[in-house]
Structure formats: C-alpha cells, structure tokens
Amino acid sequence: MDRRMLGKTQEELSIIGLNLEKLLVSEDAYEVKRYLEKFILRGVNFFEISLKFEPKDEAAVFPINLYRDQLFIAGRSYSKSGDEIQQDIKELLAKFNLQYLDLIQIIVKTQEDIHRILGPEGALEGVFAAKNLGLIKYIGFSTNKESIALKLLESYDFDSITFPIDWMNWYTGFGRKVISKAKEKGTGVISKQNLIKKITKVNEEKGISDLLYIPSESYEEVKTTIRFSLTKPITSILCSSHIDLLEWLIQAADEFTPLDIQEEENLRKSCEDLSKVFNPKNI
C-alpha cells in the first residue's frame, strides 16, 4: 500500500488508516486479531485508538503491540484541560500497553472548546507537558467544522488536522479553505471517512436538503469515495467503517489511481441539486 508524508513531519502513513472503534466492539477478540494482522501485513501502518474503545481481550490488540515499531498510532481525546488530557494519554497507553503515542488528536466541536484548549491550563499546555515526557510525538486536532478548523490552524502550528474531505461536501464548497490553509502551514491532513453514502432529498420550497446516511453498498461506491479523497492533497483516509466493508477499503487503496478531469466533473454534476440549498457556512 502506498504511503504519504504527514505534513512537515518525517512520518510516512499508509494512505488508509483504521479507527479501531468498530473493530474492537463488533467482533470477538480472535477475529479482530486476525483482521489486524491481515491489514498490517497488507501495508496499513496507521491506527487510531480512544478511551471509548474497550478491547474485549488482550488478543484483540496483540498485533498492535507485536508490530508497534512499524506502526503510527494516534490517540483521540475529548478533554479540554491540561490535567485531563494528560490523564487521557496515560490511560490510553496503559489500556493498549503502549510506551508512547505517535499523535494525540484533540477533538474540537465548538468555539468554546477552542478557548479552553488554547487558554491557560488548557489541553495544549497538557500535551506540551506530555510531549516533554516522551509520551507523545506529534500534536493534532480533529473537527467537522470548517470555521473551527481555520481558527485552530491560524492559532498554532499543529502537526496534523483530521477533517472530513468527501466529494459531496467538496462540490458544495466545504473543505477547500481548510485544505488551502493546511497546505500553507505545512500541516498534514487526514480525512475522516465512514464509508457511508448520502442520499439527498431536496426541498426547494423550504430551502433545505434532507440527507439520509446509509452504508456504501458496492465496491464501486467505496472505490469512488477513496479515489476522490486521495486525489486531493491529503496524507491518509482514517476510516471507521464496519468490518464488513474493510476488504473493499483495502482493495480500493491498493488499486488507487487519481480521478481524471471527466470523472471529477461527473461527481460535481451529481451534487448540483444539493448545492442549491446547502450552505457550507452553516457547518
């Protein structure tokens, strides 16, 4: 599997990363172990863990420990204070039997979160302290909101941002400014992806669009999703899809070729109805 450099770091991540949440909660420990070993051997070196994830058995995370030196492990934290995020990092290390995290991702949802994170005794101070202790190597954040992403990118030189880059949002104008700012700052971009598709019902009278979210139903749908995101200047797609779709995910990554001009135009046209009523400024 291809790898790409994460921003200004010297770290190369597989173009597909796996969020372990659904793997760790939906299957038995030995099934998870089998899948993890398989994906690592197929070239996946990027995984994300969180305190919300409860390994059912040590066997479930054994491959992460066995191949640790070959992997890039990111941890996720919802804490906003320095003391709390340091505690999160220590608990993540203990739960997954790790000595350090390659990346800590601070989850940011509101403008108030930004003030708490950047303020005195905020999360950023906490991760600085953890970094000085050798518990983490890099600092990033994760958000779904464009305004928050742009504010944080202006406020500090983060090593990475995790943000949804998908074709339906892109062609309504959402995400372009984030990519541009991250490129300007040298910040690595990781794209969130759940391998779901959006079915749009446009109500022009009310000026709204109802979005129905359902799992991708074919390999071609998964492949299109992966090809679009990887055609943009991102490092990796962090996927949290159900285990049933992961085979398609890995296959699509192995077969990746950039979209050509006509393919991009076809995707853009498919979003025309949505763009009439969708206002990315509201996100």
**Model confidence pLDDT, tens digit, residues 45-58:** 999 998 877 666 67
Per-residue confidence (pLDDT) for residue 197, from 0 to 100: 56
Contacts with 209 (C-beta within 8 Å, 6 or more apart), sequence order: 200, 201, 202, 203, 273, 274, 277, 278
Per-residue confidence (pLDDT) for residue 64, from 0 to 100: 86
**At 228, phi and psi to the nearest 5?**
-60, -55
Percentage, residues of the chain above pLDDT 90: 54
- Is the full-model pTM beyond 0.75? yes
Per-residue confidence (pLDDT) for residue 276, from 0 to 100: 47
Per-residue confidence (pLDDT) for residue 271, from 0 to 100: 72
Can you give the C-alpha Rg of the chain in angstroms? 19
Residue, of 73 and 281, whose pLDDT is higher:
73
Q: So what's the architecture of 3-277 in CATH?
A: Alpha-Beta Barrel (3.20)
Percentage, residues of the chain above pLDDT 70: 82
* pLDDT tens digits, one per residue of 114-160: 999 999 999 999 999 999 999 999 999 999 999 999 999 999 999 99
Per the CB < 8 A criterion, the answer to whether 56 and 83 are in contact is no
What does the mean pLDDT of the chain come to?
A: 85
Question: In angstroms, rounded to a whole number, what is the distance separating the alpha carbons of residues 177 and 184?
Answer: 11
